């Protein structure tokens, strides 16, 4: 229970930090947010809601897969989710390496990179947890169809 609480607390702190960073670009970044209509990160409450929704939905998906999917299916799902998050991080890295994004401010750039990193860490944690979790053993055909 204590480990789960510390994991939730870490996720909460990282999410709030990410929302704060996304909501605080420099002047050029603020103009870019207005011009490109990024209303979901215009201010801290909106950025926090956006980050909380992304992290919350991802966490719900991870928990559902952990509880209801078989081991091999769960491992494959977590690997796909991890690959998507890593791809998203690479996309953000390349995008924010261009001149127009490089001048939006360090806080905004770090915030853009932090969300895919949070998701990658969460997916990998669930992947490792699922790999190490042992499946309950079945003993013959009687357990498949119930007691006979």
Give the model confidence (pLDDT) of 10-39 as tens digits: 999 999 999 999 999 998 888 888 887 888
d(CA 19, CA 27): 17
The region, left, alpha or beta by phi > 0 then psi within -120 to 50, assigned to residue 25 is beta
- pLDDT value of residue 1: 65
Return the percentage of the chain with pLDDT > 70, whole number: 91
Give the model confidence (pLDDT) of 103-131 as tens digits: 888 999 999 999 999 999 999 999 999 99
pTM of the model: 0.86
């Amino acid at each position: 229970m204590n480990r789960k609480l510390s994991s939730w607390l870490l996720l909460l702190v990282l999410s709030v930090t990410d929302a704060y960073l996304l909501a605080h670009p420099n002047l050029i970044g603020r103009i870019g947010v207005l011009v490109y209509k990024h209303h979901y990160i215009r201010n801290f409450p909106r950025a926090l809601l956006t980050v909380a929704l992304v992290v919350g939905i991802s966490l719900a998906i991870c928990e559902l897969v952990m509880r209801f999917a078989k081991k091999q299916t769960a491992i494959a799902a977590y690997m796909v989710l991890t690959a998507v998050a890593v791809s998203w991080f690479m996309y953000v890295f390349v995008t924010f390496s261009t001149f127009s994004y490089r001048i939006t401010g360090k806080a905004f750039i770090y915030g853009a990179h932090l969300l895919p990193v949070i998701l990658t860490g969460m997916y990998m944690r669930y992947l490792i947890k699922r790999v190490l979790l042992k499946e309950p053993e079945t003993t013959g055909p009687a357990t498949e169809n119930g007691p006979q």
